[in-house]
Amino acid sequence: MKENSEITKGKTTEGTKNNYKYNLNPMKIYKLHKEKLGEFLQKLSEEFAVYAPVESDGVSAFIELEPGQEPALELTRTQRPPKEVFYPQTEIMLHFDKDEVQSTEYKGKPIAVFGVRPCDAKSFVIIERVFVEPKYDDTYWSARRNGALVFTLACNEPLQSCFCNWMNGGPFDNTGSDVLITDIGDEYLLEPISEDGEKYLAGNDILEKATEANVKAAQNVRKKAESSMSKAPKLDTLKETLDSLWNEPFWEEISAKCLGCAACTFSCPTCYCFDIQDESRRGKGARIRLWDTCQMPLFTKEGSGHNPRPTQKDRLRQRYMHKFSYMVETQDEFGCVGCGRCVSFCPVNIDVRSFITGILETAQNKRGRQ
């Protein structure tokens, strides 16, 4: 992944290219008849806690399936991001009382996420790079993530607000997947991507081998999906452009209508900032970790009262710089997977895509004038 760029300041953002390798060898691809999905999930749930998209009371999220419950796989995108399967909004880190402290990492069955989309599967990889590194392992994340299987469902029908293809991804991208599933009508094709995926599928007697016709159908479905998306602009100069435009007046313009809520950050699959709070009553309590947002003033307010990001302009700029510049430095790729949730949920229609095309245009105009 690091072949196309260098880890130095001021580098370009070639980042990860589409690392799909759509395996054309039918010998390696499995097939599952849709009527047998329930059986497949039932067998999966013997070993794993299975999380899948479910709609309940009008809200779609990744929830642990009850026995016999059908996942809502027709939804291209859940409202709540699946990062909460591994990184819940509220997580108790430890319980304490006057006598002892007890750490409370997840101790349940290994997790299988079924039906997650390529953008969200990629988000697991991005967040993992923050939470797990040689010197430090976030045990709360790892307790859920280790041994987990990711069954990614490729997107036959990308939504209007989707832009994964701008972010070096795509509706059939397999980054972060153990198995990539393609819906070809009456059947699902299951392609093992990782060793763990391969091991799980190999032993599964509910599956059959895919035929060449099946694979052809899958390729057609993929072609249709990819061509339905709006063409991605060239973003290889995005990071440098952003780095050079720190003081431009357009930051004021785009942040003027921003409400400063957390709709974008809390629905974003790659946002990972958190707060830690102790809540106790009469000598007993818990230390909890909870999602936090850089979009609110309290995020950077210091004990002295000073706030280095005092206005919404500073905070909105921070969000975009983080996703498109700083994370490129630390992870060698954009911190955005192009899922489109922020575009869809922003109450005032701040659209990151317009922002990106807008600043590239601003930069071009500046260069033209020079």
Partner 1 sequence: MADFEPKIMTFLCNWCSYAGADLAGVSRIQYPPNTRVIRVPCSARIDPLFILKCLQDGYDGVLVSGCHPGDCHYISGNYVARRKFAILKTALVFMGIEPDRVQFSWVSAGEGEKFSIVISKVTETVKALGPAKKLVKHTHSFEDRGKTD
Partner 2 sequence: MENLVDSIKKIFTDENLELLIGFEKGTLPLCATPCFIESADAADRLIFDFTCHNNLAKYLNDEKKRKGNTRKVGIIAKGCDARAIIHLIAEEQFERENVVVIGVPCEGVIDPSKLRKTLKGKEITEYKVNGDRIKLIGNDFELELDRAKLLSDSCLTCRYPNAPQHDHFIGEKAEPLTVNDEYAAVIEFDGKSAEKRWAYFEKEFAKCIRCYACRNACPMCYCEECFVDRNTPQWIGKSNDLTDTMIFHIIRVLHTAGRCVDCGACARACPLDIDIRLLGKRVEKEVMERFDFTAGLDFETKPAMAAFDENDKDEFIM
Q: Applying CB under 8 A, which residues contact partner 1?
A: 88, 90-92, 95-97, 102, 104, 108, 279, 281, 284-286, 288
Q: How far is the CB of 303 from partner 2 (least distance, A)?
A: 11
Q: How far is the CB of 11 from partner 2 (least distance, A)?
A: 30
- Look at residue 35 and give the partner it binds from partner 2, partner 1, none, a contact being a CB closer than 5 to 8 Å depending on partner kind: none
- Cα gap 112→196, rounded to integer Å: 12
Contact residues toward partner 2 (CB under 8 A) are 55, 57-60, 72, 74-77, 79-80, 89-90, 157, 159-161, 228, 253, 256-257, 259-263, 265-267, 275, 277, 279, 288, 290, 293, 296, 298, 311-312, 343-345, 347-351, 353-354
Question: What amino acid occupies position 286?
Answer: A
- Look at residue 108 and give the partner it binds from partner 2, partner 1, none, a contact being a CB closer than 5 to 8 Å depending on partner kind: partner 1
Place of tokens 């070993």: 47
Q: How far is the CB of 290 from partner 2 (least distance, A)?
A: 4
Backbone angles phi, psi at 38, to 5 degrees: -60, -40
- Look at residue 29 and give the partner it binds from partner 2, partner 1, none, a contact being a CB closer than 5 to 8 Å depending on partner kind: none
Closer by beta carbon to partner 1, 38 or else 285: 285
- Cα gap 199→122, rounded to integer Å: 21
- Cα gap 55→269, rounded to integer Å: 18
- Cα gap 82→148, rounded to integer Å: 13
Q: How far is the CB of 87 from partner 1 (least distance, A)?
A: 13
- Look at residue 130 and give the partner it binds from partner 2, partner 1, none, a contact being a CB closer than 5 to 8 Å depending on partner kind: none
Q: How far is the CB of 59 from partner 2 (least distance, A)?
A: 5
Strands (E), 90-210: 90-96, 101-103, 111-116, 132-133, 136-137, 149-153, 179-183, 187-192, 208-209
Q: How many CB atoms lie within 10 A of CB 350?
A: 20
Helix (H) or strand (E) segment spanning residue 226: helix 212-228
Closer by beta carbon to partner 1, 224 or else 284: 284
Closer by beta carbon to partner 2, 96 or else 345: 345
Q: How far is the CB of 323 from partner 1 (least distance, A)?
A: 30
- Look at residue 343 and give the partner it binds from partner 1, partner 2, none, a contact being a CB closer than 5 to 8 Å depending on partner kind: partner 2
Q: Is 19 exposed, middle or buried (0-12, 13-18, 19+ CB in 10 A)?
A: exposed
Closer by beta carbon to partner 1, 61 or else 245: 61
Closer by beta carbon to partner 2, 203 or else 305: 305
- Look at residue 281 and give the partner it binds from partner 2, partner 1, none, a contact being a CB closer than 5 to 8 Å depending on partner kind: partner 1
Q: How far is the CB of 132 from partner 2 (least distance, A)?
A: 24
- Look at residue 284 and give the partner it binds from partner 1, partner 2, none, a contact being a CB closer than 5 to 8 Å depending on partner kind: partner 1
Q: How far is the CB of 58 from partner 2 (least distance, A)?
A: 5
Closer by beta carbon to partner 1, 285 or else 358: 285
Quick check: helix, strand or coil at residue 184?
coil
- Cα gap 78→292, rounded to integer Å: 20
Q: Is 307 exposed, middle or buried (0-12, 13-18, 19+ CB in 10 A)?
A: middle
- The two three-digit tokens of residue 273, written as one number: 């900032």
Closer by beta carbon to partner 2, 88 or else 110: 88
Distances (CA, A) of 306 to 91, 121, 252, 300, 310: 29, 38, 21, 9, 8
